[in-house]
Amino acid sequence: MAKVAPLEFFKQVKIEAKKVSWPTRQETISSTIAVFIMVLIASLFLFAADQLLGFLISHILGLAG
């Protein structure tokens, strides 16, 4: 990879940034909500799995009161 002067590098970055297709505000909000919901679902699933496995293992090992 060829070395590029810092000023030239930032000029190229600016040119490339103009080529990016940025999402609209509504697309950003929709994507954020979708990610939040998926994280919530995954968190609830992992919490439930952890509780269930902990319960089963404690009973198998006879640690339950």
Residues 11 and 56: their CA atoms lie apart, in Å, by 60
Q: How far apart are CA 65 and CA 48, in angstroms?
A: 21
Look at residue 49 and tell me if it is in a domain. yes
Q: What is the pLDDT of residues 19-60, one digit of tens each?
A: 999 999 999 999 999 999 999 999 999 999 999 999 999 999
Look at residues 12, 31, 10, 35 and name the one whose alpha carbon lies nearest to residue 22. 31
In a domain, 32, yes or no: yes
Q: Evaluate whether residue 34 is within a structural domain.
A: yes
11: in domain: no
* Over residues 13-24, mean pLDDT: 95
Predicted model pTM: 0.67
Six token digits for residue 24: 């609209």
Q: Is residue 12 a part of any domain in this protein?
A: no
Domain that holds residue 38: 26-65
Q: Is residue 39 part of a domain?
A: yes
Residue 9 lies in a domain: no
How many domains, the chain? 1
